[in-house]
Each structure stands twice: as structure tokens, then as C-alpha cells.
Amino acid sequence: MEGGEKRNRNEPSRPGQCRETKDGSTQTDCRIQGHGPRLSKVNLFTLLSLWMEMFPREEEEEEEEDSRQIRGMGLVVVREGKVVGLHCSGPELHAGQAAVLQHGVRLADSQLYFSRRPCATCLKMIINAGVSQISFWPGDPEISMLESAPRPATEEAALDAVATDKLKSNSRPHVCVLLQPPTPDLLQFVNETSRDCDFRERRSEDAEDFNRERVRYLRDFSRRFLVCTAQQHKEILIQMGLENFCAEPYFSNLRHNMRELVEVLAAVAAGVPQHHHGFHREHPGTSSGPHEEVPQQVARHCIIQARLLAYRTEDPKVGVGAVIWAKGKQVGFGGTGRLSLVGCGYNAYPAGSKYAEYPQMDTKQEDRQRRKYRYMIHAEQNALTFRTRDIRAEESTMLFVTKCPCDECIPLIRGAGITHIYTSDQDRDKDKGDISYLRFSSLKDISRFTWQKNPPDSPGASSHLVNGCVGKRSQQPEPETNGNKKLCTKRSSGAPWRGQQSRLPFLKSSGPPALDSQYTSPVL
């Protein structure tokens, strides 16, 4: 605990205990935030770990008999507030083992966020590597304790629980549950911005499709990440040595916050349609040389990673997220196969500066000195600046970004050695004065994939087809409107987000109100 305060590491924080803790962004320590409710760092890393658990495998593996006993996991490695590793379990390696193999001694003093409590086999290696903190999602652990698992798993889970508890109580790292109550109206904001984001067509029929996909994701994610009954959840928490979380009001608030975060993840995932859309390669007749592409399901998963990052933006108008992955020649560690993370980021003001010192206006401000564009660090720039490894010429290096790269970023992308760009086509070919998007279409040495609706003769979402004139983009420049804003929703009332009081009918959630600050939260 900060300030040298000593207490039981399993004890939930008391109401108001962490109220003064600042949640500065990766870039600054400002109090002013972006254009809407914002994900905290802890919740961002937690949601990324949940999403990484569902990373699609390029080649389906045969499921073993005891696969239900050991559950797959996602893992986010954080160092100095930056994401330096995204991992998931594979057919042979657990997520924790994959992280140890890839990072080695570089794991020292880093923080790890697991989508489940790791097993003793992983935990002992992670502790030995010198990590400073291990946080896990308080659901069914990696060695499943649910009754649906085979009977031999019950004994194995009990033995593993004893071993992990002993490792936890005798180790230097802080092994804990870090969940923060989502900020007020975050779920409403994420639903609206996902429903109207650039990866969806802004039509009434598409809104209905979004709601159907959101409900389907919520059902699937709830089955995976939530424990069905309160009694069963309490039994699991007690076996994991988290009996202090079973006391009220902590237990009810824990389940409520877990449910709300799962709803946020479902809305973000539903913002990128799973059917009838895909990334379409422009000029498919031209070869990208020895560099390889990724399947549609992998590309979609990566762009949703970028969408999650965008909800940490400091930009008062436009939230953008970017993730860079490299595809090596040999199968790597864990469930990501040949892919390894290069870097990720979101748009923010320069690191170490105070937010309020910089202009925050866009092109609607006539006084150009009060516009933000000369001060904002773009998502692509942050991903390249804080990359975790070098970009190698012999590998395919793919940038997934939620907004078409601007003319300021194109030379950086080319100079860094990026071979593929996956993005939306919003604002493409536009010149807005202080920021323009004219150079993306002229890229010759980088394979470009833009998100489009599949044409009628498309064989399916798995093919890479020519853009042509399919989709939302028009080649003619069009004036900027509120509908063109990324992460700025298109509302019939025209009122700004912070003044809007109405609630969507499908966003009603049950459960007690969350405490202001009920769990331990680190200063990152």
C-alpha cells in the first residue's frame, strides 16, 4: 500500500479510503479528462486481459479431455504505466508461462493483470521473476472450481488453491484483486459511442443490429467471466482466500462492478460488426511481398483492443486507439501464435505536462492558436514511441488504428517499417486545415486494409476484397459534422454528452449502487 500503510492484502478498501487517489493518464497527471466518461487504468488493463482470453487462434487445436479443468486466460503486462505485453493461454503454455518466456527478467517491477487467478505453476515463476504486483479477475480461477468441471478437478482445484494462497502470503509481490467502480455514465457513453462508431453504419437498422450483438456478447461474456449464483461465487472466493470480499456491502458491489465491466466489454466488441463487414485490402492485385496478412477474426480482435484503448483518450473531442503487432516466422509463446506485441497507445497530450496548459479546441474554433492539433500526441505516435521491441524488416508489422492515419503520422508509419495498416476510412481524403488525411490513399509500399461492408458477391468475411466504392466512404471531400467525430455520438437532441440526462432502455442494470472507491487502487 502507498504511504507504507499495512493491512490485509485481501481486505477490500473501505468507502472513501482511496478517494484522493489520482487517476492520471499514461501521458499526464491532469485532473481534466477527455470528452466523456473515461476508463480508469486499472479497468482498462482488466478489460484488455478479459478480451485477450478470447484471442482467436489461427489454427484450431483439438480440445483435450481435461481442458475444462484448466481454463484459458488473458494477461496484460504493464511497466511504468505502459502496456508492454498482451498474452493468452495456448495449447501448451499458460498465459503466465508465455509472459515469463518472452519477457524474462524484464518482468521485474512490472504489474500483471490476469483474467483469472493464475495457477500455482504460473504464480511461482511470476513471483520468482520479481514482479511488483499481480492482479486477477475474481471469478472462476485458472484451475476451475465450478461444479461443471470433472470431479477429479475438484481435488486438483483445492490443492492448487492451498498452494497459491501459500505462495501469495509468503511472496514480495502484492497479489490482489484490483477493480474500480466504473465512472458514472461510462456504460451509457460506451454504448452510444460504440453504436455510432466509424465501424458501423449510422442507420436505424444498424442500431438494432448493434443491440442484438451487444446482448449476444453480454450473454456469452457473462457465462465466461461471471459466476452464476451468489452462493457459488462466495464459495469460490473463500477457497481463493478472499473471504473478506464475501462480507456486505463489498460482495454485492463486487458482483455489480464485475457485471458492469462485462457490459462495457460487450458494447465495445459489438461496435465492430462480426457479420457482413470486414477489412478489405485496397488494390488486391498488388503484392505485399513476403509479408503476410492476418485472418479477419484476428484483425477484428486487434481493432477492438484499439477501441478499448481509445476510451483512455485525453482529447476533448476525438478518442483514437492504436495497437501494433508483429508476425514472426516461427510460432511464438502462448495463444497468440506468431504474433507478438510491438506497442500500443491512445491520443493524449505530451507526457509529464499539465492538460489545462494546452489548447483543447478543434477546427470550429476560428482562432487557430486555440486549436489542439499542434499539441496532441496521436495514438500512432504513442504506440511507436513507447514500443516494447524493435520493428524488424523481415517480419510483417501491422498497425491497427481506429481512425485513418493523418498526414502527420504517415511518414512516421512508413519510416518505422510498418507493412500493414488496418483502419476505418472516416475522414479519409479530407483536408481540415490544421489536420489533413490526404496521404493515406497515396501509400504505395504499405498494404492498406479499410473496414467496409462486404459487397453482395463477397464469399464471406474471411476474404480480402477491393474497396471500390463499397461502404460508407465517399471519395468526394465532405464538410465536417458531429457525425464524423470518433467516439462522439450522433444524438437527435444535439445536446453535449455531459448535459444529457436520458438513459437508454436497454442499459438498465440490477444490483446495489457501487461504492465511491471500494477496492485497492494503485497509483500508476
Secondary structure of 73-87 in HEC code, one letter for each residue:
CEEEEEECCEEEEEE
Band (354; pLDDT cuts 50, 70, 90): low
Percent of the chain with pLDDT over 90: 55
Q: Is domain 277-455 annotated with CATH 3.40.140.10?
A: yes
Strands 74-79 and 82-88: antiparallel
pLDDT in tens, 471-518: 343 333 444 443 333 343 333 333 334 334 333 333 333 333 333 333
Query: Which among 128, 104, 126 has a CA at the least distance from the CA of 114?
Result: 126
pLDDT digits (tens, 9 = 90+) for 87-128: 999 989 999 999 999 999 999 999 999 999 999 999 999 999
Strand partners, 79: 82
In angstroms, rounded to a whole number, what is the distance separating the alpha carbons of residues 408 and 195?
29
pTM score over 0.85: no
State whether residue 153 is helix, strand or coil.
helix
Q: Is the pLDDT of residue 460 over 70?
A: no
Beta pairing class for 321-327 and 396-401: antiparallel
SS (H, E, C) 392-444: CCCCEEEEEECCCCCCCCHHHHHHHCCCEEEECCCCCCCECCCCECCCHHHCC
pLDDT at 59: 55
Q: 310 near 320, Cβ under 8 Å? A: yes
Q: 75-84, 133-142, 368-377: lowest mean pLDDT where?
A: 368-377
**Residue 158 pLDDT grade (very low, low, confident, very high; cuts 50, 70, 90):** confident
Residue 458 has pLDDT above 60, yes or no: no
User: Among 128, 118, 107, which residue's Cα sits nearest to residue 164?
Assistant: 118
User: Of the segments 259-273, 444-458, 482-496, which one has the largest average pLDDT value?
Assistant: 259-273
Taking CA 175 as the corner, what is the angle to CA 170 and CA 178, rounded to the nearest 5 degrees? 160
Active site residues: 380
Q: Report whether pLDDT(405) > 70.
A: yes
* pLDDT level of residue 259 (50, 70, 90 thresholds): very high
Residue 156 has pLDDT above 90, yes or no: no
Name the pLDDT band for 14 (thresholds 50, 70, 90). Answer: very low
pLDDT at residue 68 above 80?
no
Q: What pLDDT, on the 0 to 100 scale, is given for residue 52?
A: 98
C-alpha triplet 446, 450, 454: angle, nearest 5°: 135
Residues 6+ apart with CB under 8 A from 280: 449, 450, 451, 452, 454, 464, 465, 466, 467, 470, 471
Domain residues of the chain, as ranges?
Answer: 189-271, 277-455
Tell me the per-residue pLDDT of 200-245, one tens digit each, with 9 for 90 and over.
876 667 788 999 999 999 999 999 999 999 999 999 999 999 999 9
